[in-house]
Structure 1
């Protein structure tokens, strides 16, 4: 038997006008968790589609257990024991868990051609129990959390007897506790003999799970290393092609007058007595455990949610924020956590998405100035380094990190004073993170007041001037940057009520 359960040699894939993979190599051993890392646009998604039979390569060879093979289609790859689990779960929300698990390979009575529902429910329960799931296979898929839906996707892979499982950014939308549960499941699958390709931007995923890491950059294979034999610094260089000497380019703040003040803001069931202030040039981090109410506070400040009581002041004047439109008129901008559902119109072009908040400035007597719109969208897409063939590419065609850059660019088109950015680097590669931090730091230097919502401690400590820690819908403590440590922040976020 070959040392490798899966091996790719010299794989090249060309789409019109772009080489998506250029002479790429990869080797996966039996019972191994192998991390695949690289910036958005490095070729990871195309690589998955080659392995799963969605695309055929122009050059190169694929070997399965030492034998050369070419997958004709996804069904063919599945029959050879290959399955993929994606960051954005592709499910049927109105069907049951059992139906989602067995979709396309249902248990059918050979004589009557009827679906054997009881048999399928029992098999689904065995699969879910083996993964430590605590929900019934008869419930609707749409009623489950993202973490639970991913467990169903893993059960679906196991139902096809998958021996090679590709996990594409599975922890991007999970809490720390949910990520730990996913780690446990991945390790169990490995111990049971499965081989896993784990794609992630998060270094903690790699260090926690993988023994080997392979890096792609600009559609090319850069190298493979034992995880315990490559430093963080060298891995970043391999991924981005340069050293990021200052990951958090925080400039010395030029603090001005108070620009936003919140007094005793409350919404029943979500948050209570929220009070803080933000000054010109200041970055205030709003952190705490997931579910602490941070996003709901931000949505109330932007008019997405209504608040029950409390006051909001912009430049010392009390204001009523009844809608996102009223927020923008007051100079408040919002970058939502869910870029796909709330930040973008996916079937529009990049340029149209960027200029959407500024149509009034680009129009005269109801007519849009296309030339001016194109100029502005080009300048801003280049400023945030969106990787695309042109600004007319659909937002849906971009990688997650590049979609996030488009949402950041949208904020720069309006006349704003206050920016609320909710998890701005979620699911974004290390190079894009550095670019977004640079933009936020520059905006603070220009006098914007910024509220940064983040769960990442290095980001909070590296980018903020002050840190407000939320716990169970209330602000537990506010730290000056110089006084804050990761331990103190976590203590405030987790301390029991006295």
Structure 2
């Protein structure tokens, strides 16, 4: 057995009841390399991360870290061994300072039991300087951006012992290009110091640029490993999904104008000002812009979650001024939120319960819920959406991110909406699941329902939308038909806020 490898996972298996999350998978990570791990949602990536992080124990196989057997019983064991994990959702206590988060769970105390705050601050300053991270140890974490919270998590992992392996779980899914560059600058610095990086991402172009090796999982099994420059994006996609993805043509503008369904006239509210646009039956209207440009706030105003301050809306030709989410629901408007875990799902509930939350009234009689009707509705949705699940009674958190997103979308489709709005509909899900979500959007639009899509992904906007409105600092600075919309034109409008007049 050689000790040249940083980590060797050999024939790992992990089951949850009758569901086999990992089936005889192996992966080898070398010292000082960036090793990407890819696969569709549900391929087993998250399970491997949990095993290496000490969150769960594997059932079969063994793991070697620097040639020694490694079987952490909890996250603290993993950190003490030099294995740190940065999750997609930062594990930060926002009410504490940067220094307190670095020493979370192991605050420094003297012999008298008093907290050694000054020493914690001193050590945190030294740590941050060694990593070239510009954070104030005394700053409250509630004021940190997601990017800074991720850098803080890396610093915390490095503070336990000599960092051997850093696991990054979808680290760039919500970051701006500048923040992504900052993150990879730190990653490269750590790699040069001999730290190995396990990098989980759905962004294949990012993997192609940064990874030294790529391992592909599919359905809980190991498929293959590639070294840099010995694969193409098509190779990765084919091995991830095990099938050829259908080639889908980008949208074009609607051939003939359809019925006007939604109109905003000089609408202003929290985060946006003087916004006007129209959405027609069967149209997918995109809203593109940088984070904080006002896109999400417009959806919230239409959905009645936030009040508007001026301007007006019409829905199906009638004045529309929602004072609450209830008003929007009664008007059959649906919103799939960006934060599916925090706002779209109830984690303690089952797949079936989450899928039917929006149609409980339909499945009740004289105030009593019909269990049989709810089960039938849930079963129908599972079949229609092609969900990969052990059954409608499985806990929703047992599903992959892509399948969770399909549950949220399907729940709203069950209401037969007159307007469907989606905020970052494919964020953090794999390429196969993205295609399935896109087809759901196509089917809704083809049925005549108007759709509004907010997305930070230009290929997604160009794939889905008939027209694209571009936001810049709270203002709608351009509306482009699909034939005129290019990545260059949309980025120019989003960053510069000039170049095109706003037209319906």
TM-score of the pair, normalised by structure 2: 0.94
State which drifts further: 452-461 or 87-96: 87-96
What do the CA deviations read for 1:380-418 (whole angstroms, capped 9, x no partner)? 133223322122222233332222111111111113111
User: Are 1:249 and 1:441, in contact at CA under 8 Å, matched by a contact in 2?
Assistant: no
User: Bigger shift: 50-59 or 281-290?
Assistant: 50-59
Partner of 1:470: 471
Shift of 1:444: 0.6
In 1, the alpha carbon distance for the partners of 2:156 and 2:249 equals 40
**2:158 equivalent in structure 1:** 158
In structure 1, the partner of 2:12 is 11
Q: For residues 191 and 329 of structure 1, do their structure 2 counterparts lie closer, same or farther at Cα, with a shift above 3 Å needed?
A: same
Shift in Å at residue 249 of structure 1?
A: 7.2
Deviations 1:399-454 (A, max 9, x none): 32222111111111113111111110011111110000000001110001011111
Aligned match of 1:117: 117
Deviates more, 1:55-64 or 1:178-187: 55-64
The superposition leaves residues 93-139 of structure 1 with CA deviations (integer Å, 9 ceiling, x where unpaired) of 22222121112333343x44443221111111222234444332122
| Displacement after TM superposition at 1:81 (Å) | 1.1
Are residues 273 and 101 of structure 1, via their aligned partners in 2, closer, same or farther at CA, if it must alter by over 3 Å? same
Deviation at 1:5, TM superposition (A): 0.7
The 5 A counterparts of 1:406-421 are: 406-421=407-422
Query: In the alignment, which residue of structure 1 is the partner of 2:3?
Result: 2
Shift of residue 187 of structure 1?
1.3
Is 2:477–2:493's contact at 8 Å kept on the other side of the alignment? yes
Checking the alignment, whether the CA contact within 8 Å between 1:121 and 1:138 is kept in structure 2 is: yes
SS of residue in 1 equivalent to 2:61: strand
Could you report, residue by residue, the CA deviation over 1:352-385 in whole angstroms, capped at 9, with x for unpaired residues? 2222122221111111121111111221133223
Matches within 5 A, 1:63-462: 63-109=64-110, 111-161=111-161, 162-247=163-248, 256-267=258-269, 270-462=271-463
Residues 171 and 223 (structure 1), Cα distance of their counterparts in 2 relative to 1, 3 Å cut: same
Q: Given the superposition, is the C-alpha separation of residues 461 and 251 from structure 1 closer, same or farther in structure 2, using an over 3 Å criterion?
A: closer
Q: Tell me the CA shift for residue 258 of structure 1.
A: 0.9
Two-structure CA RMSD over aligned residues (Å): 1.9
Shift of 1:496: 5.5
Looking at structure 2, the residues matched to 248 and 266 of structure 1 have their Cα atoms a distance apart, in angstroms, of 35
Taking a change above 3 Å as real, the CA distance of residues 289 and 70 of structure 1, as seen in their structure-2 partners, is closer
**In terms of mean alpha carbon deviation, does 338-347 or 65-74 score higher?**
65-74
| 1:32-69 per-position Cα deviation (integer Å, ceiling 9, x unaligned) | 01110111111111111222233333322222223344
Worse overlay, 73-82 or 282-291: 73-82
Verify the 8 A CA contact 1:249 1:437 in the aligned structure 2.
no
1:72: Cα distance to partner?
Answer: 4.1
Q: How far apart, CA to CA, are the structure 2 residues paired with 1:250 and 1:483?
A: 12
Change (3 A) 1:258 1:393: same
Q: Distance in 2 between matches of 1:207 and 1:473?
A: 34
- For 2:9, what is the secondary structure of its paired residue? strand
Q: Which runs of 5+ in 1 are unaligned?
A: none
Shift of 1:90: 1.9
Q: TM-score, normalised by structure 1?
A: 0.95
Evaluate the alpha carbon distance shift between residue 14 and residue 397 of structure 1 in structure 2; reply closer, same or farther with a 3 A threshold.
closer
Correspondence for 2:496: 495
**Distance in 1 between residues matched to 2:490 and 2:196, nearest whole Å:** 38
CA distance in 2, matches of 1:55, 1:472: 44
Does the 8 Å CA contact 2:205/2:233 hold for their aligned counterparts? Answer: no
* 8 Å CA contact retained: 2:213, 2:227: yes
For 1:462 and 1:426, the matched residues in 2 are separated by 15
Relative to structure 2, which stretch is displaced further, 469-478 or 223-232? 223-232
SS in structure 2 of the partner of residue 4 of structure 1:
coil
Decide whether the 8 Å contact of 2:147 with 2:175 is kept in 1: yes
1:441-498 deviations in Å (ceiling 9; x for gaps):
0111000101111111111111111111111111111111111111111111122569
